């Protein structure tokens, strides 16, 4: 069964750090780009960022709201994705989902659809 399981969420003070993990199983993790998406309480989905695969040099992209504070990494030998979050703000409070990016290329030349999602892990930034 294809599965993504996030962990590492919790309560952290503003200015603090947290590292989220996403364990993948049931598919060839190393083939896929992987995304992080978050959802603040009562709000819509917000894309956080992406890591591409080894064939694309593990390049990363980030939303402007997290660039310079968050870092996405992966360990293909462990089938794991990570999100290192530093300098956390109250507005980073959200459920964080990891998502598998599908292998096909869209009209813009990018792999863009998210076909498998984890159940999410909750991050609360509060004093």
Partner 1 sequence: SYVLTQPPSVSVAPGKTARITCGGNNIGSKSVHWYQQKPGQAPVLVIYYDSDRPSGIPERFSGSNSGNTATLTISRVEAGDEADYYCQVWDSSSDRHVVFGGGTKLTVL
Task: Please state the closest distance from residue 121 (CB atom) to partner 1, in A.
Answer: 11
Task: Please state the closest distance from residue 45 (CB atom) to partner 1, in A.
Answer: 5
DSSP 8-state assignment for residue 81:
E
Kindly tell me which of 38 and 74 has the beta carbon lying closer to partner 1: 38
Q: Does 60 bind partner 1 (CB under 8 A)?
A: no
Q: Are 49 and 61 in contact (CB under 8 A)?
A: yes
DSSP 8-state assignment for residue 115:
E
Give the one residue of 64, 68, 77, 127 binding partner 1; rule: CB under 8 A: 64
Radius of gyration of the chain, Cα coordinates, nearest whole angstrom: 14
Kindly tell me which of 77 and 108 has the beta carbon lying closer to partner 1: 108
Instruction: Give the three-class secondary structure for 19.
Output: strand
Q: Name the one residue in this structure whose structure tokens are 């870092």.
A: 71
Bridge partners (DSSP) of residue 82 are: 21, 73
Which residues in this chain contact partner 1 in the complex, by CB under 8 A? 35, 37, 44-47, 50, 61-64, 97, 102, 104, 106-110, 112-115, 117-120
């Amino acid at each position: 069964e294809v599965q993504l399981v996030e962990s590492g969420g919790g309560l952290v003070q503003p200015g603090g750090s947290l590292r989220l993990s996403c364990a993948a199983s049931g598919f060839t993790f190393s083939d896929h780009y992987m995304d992080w998406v978050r959802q603040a309480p009562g709000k819509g989905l917000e894309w956080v960022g992406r890591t591409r695969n080894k064939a694309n040099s593990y390049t990363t992209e980030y939303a402007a709201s997290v660039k310079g504070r968050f870092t996405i990494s992966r360990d293909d030998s462990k089938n794991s994705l990570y999100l290192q979050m530093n300098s956390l703000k109250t507005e980073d409070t959200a459920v964080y989902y990891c998502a598998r990016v599908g292998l096909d290329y869209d009209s813009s030349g990018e792999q863009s659809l998210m076909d498998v999602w984890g159940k999410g892990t909750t991050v609360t930034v509060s004093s």
